[in-house]
Amino acid sequence: MFLLPAPPRAALASAVLVVLAGGCAAPAPGGAAAFPLAEGLLLLESGDPAAAGALLERDPLPAGALARFHAEALAARVHAVASLGAAFRTEITTAGGRGGPLGGPPSEAATRPSPTSHLVALLYHAAQARAQTAAAAADQQAGGDAILPAALAALEVEEIDAELELLSAVAYARLGFRAEVDSFVARSPALVDLEGFPAALDRRRVPAALRPWVGEMVSHHLRSRDEVAAYRFGVLAIEGAERFGHALPPEVVAEIERWIVAESRYLFVCPESQTPFLPGARRSPKSGIPHLEYVPVERPRGGGR
* CB 122 to other proteins: min, Å: 8
Nearer to other proteins, 8 or 23 (CB): 23
Nearer to other proteins, 59 or 266 (CB): 59
Strand ranges for the chain from DSSP E: 90-93, 110-113, 266-269, 295-298
> Helix, strand, or coil here: 91?
strand
Nearer to other proteins, 133 or 284 (CB): 133
Nearer to other proteins, 99 or 288 (CB): 99
As a whole number of angstroms, the distance between CA 265 and CA 262 comes to: 8
* CB 265 to other proteins: min, Å: 21
Give me the residues that bind other proteins (CB under 8 A), please.
26-27, 30, 54, 57-61, 79, 89-106, 114, 116-124, 127-128, 130-131, 175-177, 179-180
| Sign of torsion over alpha carbons 285, 291, 293, 299 | positive
List helix spans (H) across 143-279: 150-153, 157-175, 178-186, 197-203, 211-222, 227-243, 250-258
Nearer to other proteins, 11 or 110 (CB): 110
As a whole number of angstroms, the distance between CA 202 and CA 271 comes to: 31
Burial class (CB in 10 A: 0-12, 13-18, 19+), 5: exposed
* CB 149 to other proteins: min, Å: 19
Backbone angles phi, psi at 215, to 5 degrees: -60, -40
* CB 179 to other proteins: min, Å: 7
* CB 133 to other proteins: min, Å: 9
* CB 293 to other proteins: min, Å: 32
Nearer to other proteins, 8 or 96 (CB): 96
* CB 27 to other proteins: min, Å: 4
As a whole number of angstroms, the distance between CA 83 and CA 93 comes to: 17
Nearer to other proteins, 96 or 280 (CB): 96
Helix, strand, coil share of the chain (percent; to 5): 55, 5, 35
As a whole number of angstroms, the distance between CA 300 and CA 4 comes to: 52
